[in-house]
Amino acid sequence: MSITEFFLAGGAVAWPLLGFSLLGVALIIERAIFWYRIKSRQHKVVTTALKLYRADQVAAAITKLKQNADLPVCRIFLEALDLPDASPTEFRLALETATQAELPLFKRFNTLFQTVITVSPLLGLLGTILGLMQSFAALDIGNVGGTNATRVTGGISEALISTVMGLVVAISILLFANSFRSFYLRQLALIQEYAGQLELLYRRFYEKGEKTYATTR
């Protein structure tokens, strides 16, 4: 059986399942590109920016962050560093607020993923019921010769194929969705780590400036 014949044998539910599978592939590609861009550049950019900031080259660090403003962590840092004369508490609050603002970007399309994962098996089950109904409708109990064998086997085939299609779509999307969720949790931990390092450096510079001001009075 070719792929086209397999798809056509799935009955009416094959079309929405095909739509869900195409939607899932599109979402997976978008999320894969998004996370690849972050994982391939983030560590190097943040490490360089923190090194510049630690060396008291604040302007150079900000320039580096602005050059990579498409990365969420860079936008988080910039939100805090752009605050004029902020206290350590205000700086920390700025980091936390900016982090919260970026979280929806990391969890983007989660609702769509969950919808596809939940609805696909249900559509497969619906196809199973429709296929069995077709098979039973073709049976002529008590008159074997009057039974439409083609419709019976076609209904059973539709029932089985629709179930398989629904499960394949749901399982495939679930695997990728769980992978993206693990990326999100890891990214959240990294942002907290990087933000903690930046906050510590800012606090040191702030306290050093306060002491310098106090000794010059």
Domain boundaries, the chain: 10-210
Residue-wise pLDDT for 127-161, tens only, equals: 888 887 777 776 655 555 555 556 667 677 777 88
Residue 154: closest CA among 15, 16, 11, 12: 11
3-state secondary structure of 153: helix
Report the helix count and the strand count for the chain, using DSSP H and E.
7, 0
Q: In the chain, how long is the greatest CA-to-CA distance? A: 109
pLDDT at 84: 84
Residue 10: closest CA among 161, 122, 148, 155: 161
139 close to 151: Cβ distance less than 8 angstroms: no
pTM for the whole thing?
0.82
Residue-wise pLDDT for 174-188, tens only, equals: 999 999 999 999 999
Across the chain, mean pLDDT equals 85
pLDDT at 12: 80
Residue 106: both structure tokens together: 């990391």
